[in-house]
Amino acid sequence: MTDLAESLERLRQRFSAQAEAAIDERELDSLRVRYLGRQGEVTQLRRGIGTLPPDQRRDAGKAINDVVAVMEGRLAAASAALQARSFETELASSIDVTFPARKARLGSVHPVRQIIERTCDYFMRHGFAVVLGPEAEPEYYNFDALNIPADHPARENFDSFWLSDGLLLRPHTSPIQVRTMQRYPPPVAIVAPGKCYRRDATDARHLFQFHQVEGLLVAEGIHFGHLKGMLEGLCRELFGRRQKVRFRPSYFPFTEPSAEVDTTCPKCSGAGAPQGTRCGMCGGSGWIELGGAGMVHPNVLREVQYDPETYSGWAFGFGAERLGLALYDVDDIRRFVTSDPDFLVALS
């Protein structure tokens, strides 16, 4: 090996060790200057080429160039390694991956949905099927088939949102009774939850969009006692064992006899006006109204080709939000629809 080759090899080894040991870019820079700069060691060697015999200069120049290329490669690699390492250190110092994560806040089932699910659950356990129906219905299903002809004053109780083509947003879930009976022969036992719409001014007791749960049982030999038993069972299930249910005579065109169904006010436990202070929940009556019920009118059975001489049945329609007022001790029905997460989570 020539002298030059030997010095180049030593220089390259020394340089490699130092480049590898460099801890920052500044050190790499000073290495670059020390070896490759204008006064650098390699430059000095290059200057020595002129002193060599002419036939050796070419090889000497090439040998130096080769080593310079290797050194530059090393510098670039060392610089890249430093950059990667500094990114990792920065990450490690700013993010503690072992730090416990913040707990995610779980959502909950909406209280009205919970009531609907519990009600359906109760009826399903008794062999009822859950059925749904369309929210936009023709007059026929909303009224005519339910024994409410066009000029019937009961239509006034259903101040409806009318759509085009004779459709309206259903003001109650009772149309589902008709649809079900037209589709299936008796016996039928269904529970039908869903949204309803009425052109009511919104206040603490009214929403223009609300939910009802409808129930229907038609078979041979069904009587009012069956209805009472099932609804008392439902109220006990929802409100507790001590809950009472009261049936007040009422009128609905699609049932005969008809009743309004109340349950003991859970706030005052039925006391109404204890020591002269009127209960804010029930207005002092001691009862909360849940909805209507009755024995299916023979005209309705006839309309769906059921023989009223053979079959009888009961039906009811409860307001889900009404059940919610009583169940959750809520004083304003609008709270169910204002999307206040604290209110909703508290009831879950």
The residue ranges that bind ligand DAH (CB under 6 A) are 172, 174, 214, 252, 255, 291-294, 315-317
Closest approach of ligand DAH to the CB of residue 208, in Å:
14
Comparison of 71 and 304: residue with beta carbon closer to ligand DAH? 304
CA distance 272 to 265: 8
β pairing state of 136-138 and 167-169: antiparallel
Nearest to 172 by CA among 319, 326, 334: 319
Comparison of 71 and 192: residue with beta carbon closer to ligand DAH? 192
Closest approach of ligand DAH to the CB of residue 259, in Å:
8
Comparison of 75 and 216: residue with beta carbon closer to ligand DAH? 216
Comparison of 148 and 268: residue with beta carbon closer to ligand DAH? 148
Q: Do you find a cis peptide bond into 187, omega within 30 degrees of 0? A: yes
Closest approach of ligand DAH to the CB of residue 316, in Å:
5
Closest approach of ligand DAH to the CB of residue 296, in Å:
7
Comparison of 15 and 247: residue with beta carbon closer to ligand DAH? 247
- Cβ-Cβ contacts under 8 Å for 274 (sequence gap 6 or more): 268
Comparison of 58 and 195: residue with beta carbon closer to ligand DAH? 195
Q: Specify the residue for token string 């390694």.
A: 81
What angle, rounded to 10 degrees, do the helices at 25-36 and 54-94 form?
170
CB 135 within 8 A of CB 170: yes
Strands (DSSP E) contained in the chain are 129-130, 136-138, 167-169, 188-197, 209-220, 245-252, 255-264, 287-296, 311-319
Cβ atoms within 10 A of the Cβ of 144, count? 15
Closest approach of ligand DAH to the CB of residue 294, in Å:
5
Query: What 3-state DSSP class applies to 85?
Result: helix
Comparison of 49 and 219: residue with beta carbon closer to ligand DAH? 219
Comparison of 59 and 232: residue with beta carbon closer to ligand DAH? 232
Closest approach of ligand DAH to the CB of residue 304, in Å:
14
Closest approach of ligand DAH to the CB of residue 173, in Å:
7
* Structure tokens that stand for 196 in this block: 């309803």
Closest approach of ligand DAH to the CB of residue 342, in Å:
32
CB 222 within 8 A of CB 313: yes
Between the alpha carbon of residue 296 and those of residues 2, 177, 190, 191, 222, the distances in Å are 116, 10, 14, 15, 10
Cβ atoms within 10 A of the Cβ of 241, count? 6
